[in-house]
C-alpha cells in the first residue's frame, strides 16, 4: 500500500522519538537516484548536527537542523524505520541516517519516486511547499473553502479533491472513500456541487483521514520492528479496490472507472 497522509503521519509519530534531541553521526546513500538526486554533500554536511525537530507538511517530512532542513517524501513505495547499525541493508534501502543514540534511520523505496533534499530558510516558502493547499485536518479546510475553490473548476470533483493546491494529503484511496461517504459522484463537475454537499465532503475527508490515523496509531506497536514494516495498516475500505462487490450501504455493485488517469471506485446507487 502506498503511503497516503495517514501513513506519513504515522511514520512521523513513529520516528520522532528516535530523532528529536539526537545528533547525526553519519549519512550514507547507496542509491542517490530518487525522483531528484540526493544532494552529494549530505554526507559531509549532516554529521555532528543536532536534529532540532521533525515535522510534516502535506506528505513531506521536514527534519530541521540549525542551518537548514532535510525534506523527505516517501513517493508511493517509500518507508522509514529505525534499525540497529549492524543490520545489513536489503535491496531498495537507499539511505541511512546514523544517530548518536546508536540507531539508524533507514529509508527503503523500491520505485524511487521519493525525495531527499536539503534546503535552507523557511520551509513554508520552499518551491515544493509554498503553493500547497491547507492541511485537511486543519480548520482552514472546510466545506466553505472547498465550495469557494470549486467555483472555477469544471473538472471532476475527484480530480479536484486530489489537487494538492486545493487540499493536501487526499490521495487516490481516500478520495474515493471520502466521496462515497459524502454520497457524491466522483465524476460530477466540481463547480456543480452545492455548498451543503461540500460541507459533507469536508467532514468526510476529515473523519476518514482521522480514523485512518487513529488506526495507524493503534496498529503501530514498534517502529523498530525488524520485519521491515513501517507500520502500514489495513483500513476498512468501503469502495476502494472493491469493483463488483456489493455496496456496503445499498448492495449495488461497486463500479470502477478511470478519472484523470486514476482508478476510481464508487457506488452508482449511493453517489450522485
Partner DNA sequence: ACTGGCTCCTGAGGGC
Partner DNA sequence: TGCCCTCAGGAGCCAG
Sign of CA dihedral 12, 70, 89, 103: negative
Binding to DNA (CB under 7 A) within 18-47 occurs at 33, 35
Sign of CA dihedral 59, 149, 181, 141: positive
Query: Which residue from 210, 263, 268, 269 is in contact with DNA, where contact means CB under 7 A?
Result: 263
Over the window 52 to 91, marking each residue x when it contacts DNA by CB under 7 A and - when it does not, the resulting string is ------xx-------------x-xxx-------------x
User: Out of 59, 106, 158, 242, which one is annotated catalytic?
Assistant: 59
CA 203 centroid distance within chain = 19
| Residues between 226 and 255 with contacts to DNA, criterion CB under 7 A | none
Under the binding rule (CB under 7 A), the answer on residue 205 touching DNA is no
Q: Which three cell numbers stand for residue 196?
A: 451543503
The cell for 263 is: 482508478
Contact region with DNA (CB under 7 A), list: 163-171, 205-213, 219-227, 242-250: 163-171
Comparison of 14 and 136: residue with beta carbon closer to DNA: 136
Residues near 136 by beta carbon (within 8 Å), at least 6 away in sequence: 5, 167, 168, 169, 170, 205, 206, 209
Q: Rounded to whole angstroms, how far apart are CA atoms 179 and 171?
A: 12
- Grid coordinates representing 157 are 470533483
Q: Report in angstroms how near the CB of residue 123 gets to DNA at its nearest.
A: 13
Least gap, CB of 99 to DNA (angstroms): 26
Closest approach of DNA to the CB of residue 255, in Å = 14
**Does 59 participate in catalysis according to the annotation?**
yes
Closest CB to DNA among residues 206, 262: 262
The answer to whether residue 106 is catalytic is no
Cell of 21: 534531541
The alpha helices in 220-239, defined as continuous H runs, are none
Report in angstroms how near the CB of residue 58 gets to DNA at its nearest: 6
User: For 4-35, b where at least 16 C-beta lie within 10 A, e where not — what string?
Assistant: bbbbbbbbbbbbbebbeebebbebebeeeebe
Instruction: Decide whether 159 or 181 has the Cβ nearer to DNA.
Output: 159
With binding defined as CB under 7 A, does residue 258 bind DNA? yes
- How crowded is the C-beta side of 196, counted as CA atoms within 13 Å? 0
- Helices (H) and strands (E) counted in the chain, each on its own, are 6, 10
- Asked if residue 173 binds DNA (CB under 7 A), the reply is yes
Query: Which residue of 113, 118, 145, 233 would you call a contact of DNA, by CB under 7 A?
Result: 113
262 is annotated as an active-site residue: yes
Binding site for DNA (CB under 7 A): 2, 4, 33, 35, 58-59, 73, 75-77, 91-92, 110-113, 127-128, 152-155, 159-160, 164, 169, 171-173, 190, 258, 260-263
Active site residues: 3-4, 59, 262
Amino acid at each position: 500500500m502506498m503511503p497516503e497522509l495517514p501513513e506519513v503521519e504515522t511514520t512521523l509519530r513513529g520516528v520522532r522519538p528516535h530523532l528529536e534531541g539526537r545528533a547525526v553521526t553519519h549519512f550514507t546513500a547507496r542509491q542517490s537516484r530518487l525522483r531528484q538526486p540526493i544532494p552529494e554533500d549530505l554526507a559531509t554536511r549532516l554529521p555532528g548536527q543536532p536534529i532540532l525537530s521533525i515535522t510534516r507538511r502535506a506528505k513531506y517530512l521536514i527534519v530541521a537542523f540549525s542551518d537548514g532542513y532535510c525534506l523527505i517524501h516517501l513517493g508511493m513505495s517509500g518507508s522509514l524505520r529505525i534499525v540497529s547499525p549492524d543490520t545489513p541493508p536489503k535491496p531498495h534501502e537507499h539511505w541511512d541516517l546514523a544517530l548518536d543514540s546508536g540507531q539508524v534511520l533507514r529509508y527503503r523505496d523500491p520505485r524511487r519516486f521519493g525525495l531527499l533534499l536539503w534546503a535552507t530558510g523557511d520551509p513554508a516558502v520552499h518551491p515544493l511547499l509554498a503553493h500547497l493547499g491547507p492541511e485537511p485536518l486543519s480548520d482552514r479546510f472546510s466545506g466553505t473553502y472547498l465550495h469557494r475553490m470549486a467555483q472555477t473548476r469544471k473538472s471532476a470533483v475527484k480530480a479536484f479533491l486530489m489537487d494538492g493546491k486545493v487540499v493536501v494529503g487526499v490521495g487516490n484511496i481516500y478520495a474515493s472513500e471520502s466521496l462515497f461517504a459524502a454520497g457524491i459522484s466522483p465524476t460530477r463537475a466540481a463547480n456543480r456541487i452545492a455548498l451543503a454537499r461540500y460541507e459533507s465532503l469536508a467532514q468526510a475527508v476529515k473523519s476518514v483521514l482521522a480514523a485512518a490515523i487513529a488506526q495507524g496509531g493503534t496498529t503501530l506497536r514498534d517502529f523498530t520492528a525488524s520485519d521491515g514494516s513501517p507500520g502500514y495498516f489495513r483500513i476498512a475500505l468501503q469502495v476502494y479496490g472493491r469493483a463488483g462487490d456489493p455496496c456496503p450501504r445499498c448492495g449495488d455493485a461497486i463500479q470502477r472507472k478511470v478519472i484523470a488517469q486514476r482508478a476510481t471506485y464508487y457506488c452508482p446507487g449511493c453517489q450522485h
